[in-house]
């Protein structure tokens, strides 16, 4: 396949699954500028790795692996270097202005709880939760993370328990405020 044809195929697949990048960046970065940086780095790494992608395997599994690997390592090391990409001035993935407003308006208690819960998790549990919330099966999650299926089940159980405790603590706090 020529480089041009490969690039076109890559862009089609990327467009089809762009939500994955957005959700990962949103879960790992609080600041909008950091999210853009991370998305750029994920896209570039996906493109660099695309030559080795085997079309017989699922594109999303491959994409999750590359994108999550970049997300986990990016903010540990790589942002310490100055940005040298040509993408600085504009964002690769853009959210329409209307949807940005409606998203902010619709951020209810559940949305805030979900956001703060995800941000409390460590890098690996966060990756696990993203994969679980995206509806991936335990065997797929295990394949992406490189751990056993049993381990995935155990970790999801622990995360569920942690969420219950956090939710109970929030409710307790709300009741405490109400009775004061």
Partner 1 sequence: MELDELKSRWQEQDKKLDDCLRLNQRLLRESLLGKSDTALRRLSRLLWFELVVNVAGAILVGSFLGDHVTETRYLIPAIALQLGLIAVIVAGARQLATIAGIDYAAPIVEIQRRLETLWLQRIRTMQWTLILSPLAWTPLAIVAMRGLIGVDVYSAFGLAWVAANLVFGLLVIVIAIWVSRAYADRLGRSPLIQRLLQDVGGQNLAAARTFVKSVSEFAGTLPN
Q: Which of 16, 20, 12, 22 is nearest to 100 (CA)?
A: 22
The answer to whether residue 120 forms part of the interface with partner 1 (CB under 8 A) is: no
The answer to whether residue 58 forms part of the interface with partner 1 (CB under 8 A) is: no
Site string for partner 1, 138-167 (x = CB under 8 A): -----xxxxxx--x---xx--xx--xx--x
Q: Least separation, in Å, of the C-beta of 30 and partner 1?
A: 17
Q: Which lies closer to partner 1 via its Cβ, residue 34 or residue 93?
A: 93
Q: How many angstroms separate the Cα of 6 from the Cα of each of 44, 49, 60, 156? A: 14, 12, 17, 37
Q: Which lies closer to partner 1 via its Cβ, residue 103 or residue 173?
A: 103
Q: Which lies closer to partner 1 via its Cβ, residue 30 or residue 67?
A: 67
Listed in sequence order, the residues at least 6 apart from 66 whose beta carbon sits closer than 8 Å to its beta carbon are 42, 45, 46, 49
Helical residues (DSSP H) of 134-148, grouped into ranges: 138-145
Q: Least separation, in Å, of the C-beta of 173 and partner 1?
A: 14
């Amino acid at each position: 396949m020529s480089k041009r044809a490969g690039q076109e195929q890559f862009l089609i697949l990327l467009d089809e699954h762009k939500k994955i990048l957005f959700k990962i960046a949103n879960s790992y970065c609080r600041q909008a500028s950091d999210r853009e940086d991370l998305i750029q780095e994920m896209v570039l790494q996906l493109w660099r790795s695309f030559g080795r992608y085997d079309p017989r395997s699922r594109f999303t599994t491959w994409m999750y692996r590359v994108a999550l690997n970049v997300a986990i390592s990016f903010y540990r090391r790589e942002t310490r270097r100055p940005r040298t990409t040509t993408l600085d001035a504009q964002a690769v993935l853009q959210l329409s202005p209307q949807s940005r407003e409606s998203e902010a308006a619709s951020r209810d208690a559940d949305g805030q709880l979900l956001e703060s819960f995800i941000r409390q998790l460590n890098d690996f549990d966060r990756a696990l939760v993203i994969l679980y919330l995206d509806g991936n099966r335990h065997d797929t999650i295990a394949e992406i993370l490189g751990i056993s299926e049993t381990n995935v089940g155990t970790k999801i159980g622990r995360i569920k328990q942690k969420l219950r405790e956090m939710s109970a603590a929030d409710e307790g706090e709300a009741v405490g405020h109400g009775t004061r």
